[in-house]
């Protein structure tokens, strides 16, 4: 009797172990990775950084390498988004209303979005034509995918008049 219980216990532990390993493997495959690379690491990897004086022989002159010219950027993503507006008032921001989450001072063309990386550029053709907005601020954490907030240098009444708009947005990733 004890032998049967022991075998069942061993089988149960093996099953749990196999299940845990399989779950970890699937999570590794399915969950996207977030990678933060330093600019000079990328440049060194692809050879775009100038050689240092130690790497250059006496007869050679280090010529700066540049990135190849690219064609005009096209949007990488078009989505339907909910757009609102905010201004630099304490009721709509934190205790430093003129400093964005990126550390930059607020400016025309700045937009807040929790789901896009800082520096992502976007257009809102139906509202602003070809004007380019740059993601440099964040919103309250309760707002997720598809929600954006345009910074306006305007009185609170005008900002509220902007309201909530559902429009198509073109997103350009660098």
Q: Number of folded domains in the chain?
A: 1
Question: What is the C-alpha separation between 143 and 171, in angstroms, rounded?
Answer: 18
Whether residue 44 lies inside any domain: the answer is: no
Whether residue 20 lies inside any domain: the answer is: no
Domain of residue 123, CATH code: 2.40.40.10
Whether residue 102 lies inside any domain: the answer is: yes
61-83 pLDDT per residue, tens: 445 455 455 444 555 788 899 99
Question: What is the C-alpha separation between 162 and 156, in angstroms, rounded?
Answer: 10
* pLDDT at site 124: 92
34-50 pLDDT per residue, tens: 444 444 444 444 443 44
Reduce the DSSP state of residue 146 to 3 states and report it. coil
Whether residue 106 lies inside any domain: the answer is: yes
Q: Which residues contact 137 (CB under 8 A, 6 or more apart)?
A: 100, 101, 102, 106, 110, 111, 112, 149, 151
* pLDDT at site 75: 54
Which residues of the chain register pLDDT less than 70? 1, 28-75, 90-95, 174
Nearest 10 degrees: Cα torsion 81, 85, 91, 96: 90
**DSSP class per residue in 65-105:** P-PPP-PPP--SEEEEEEEEEE-S-TTTS-S-TTB-TTSSB
Report angle CA 12, 13, 19 to the nearest 5 degrees: 90
How many CB atoms within 10 Å of residue 122? 23
Length of the chain in terms of residues written:
174
* pLDDT at site 41: 41
Whether residue 14 lies inside any domain: the answer is: no
Whether residue 16 lies inside any domain: the answer is: no
Taken in order 100, 160, 139, 116, is the CA torsion positive or negative? Answer: negative
Whether residue 159 lies inside any domain: the answer is: yes
For residue 114, what are the CA distances in angstroms to 36, 118, 141, 144?
17, 9, 7, 6
Which domain range does residue 163 map to?
77-172
């Amino acid at each position: 009797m004890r032998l049967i219980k022991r075998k069942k216990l061993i089988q149960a532990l093996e099953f749990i172990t196999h299940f845990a390993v399989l779950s970890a493997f699937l999570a590794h495959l399915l969950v996207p990775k977030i990678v933060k690379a330093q600019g000079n690491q990328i440049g060194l990897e692809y050879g775009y950084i100038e050689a240092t004086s130690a790497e250059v022989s006496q007869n050679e002159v280090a010529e700066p390498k540049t990135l190849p010219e690219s064609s005009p950027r096209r949007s990488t993503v078009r989505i339907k988004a909910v757009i609102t507006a905010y201004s630099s008032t304490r009721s709509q921001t934190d205790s430093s209303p003129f400093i964005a989450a990126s550390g930059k001072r607020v400016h025309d063309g700045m937009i807040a979005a929790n789901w896009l990386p800082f520096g992502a550029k976007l257009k809102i053709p139906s509202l602003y034509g070809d004007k380019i907005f740059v993601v440099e601020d964040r919103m309250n954490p309760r707002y997720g995918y598809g929600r954006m907030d345009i910074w306006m240098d305007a009185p609170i009444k005008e900002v509220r008049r902007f309201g909530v708009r559902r429009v198509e947005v073109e997103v350009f990733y660098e």
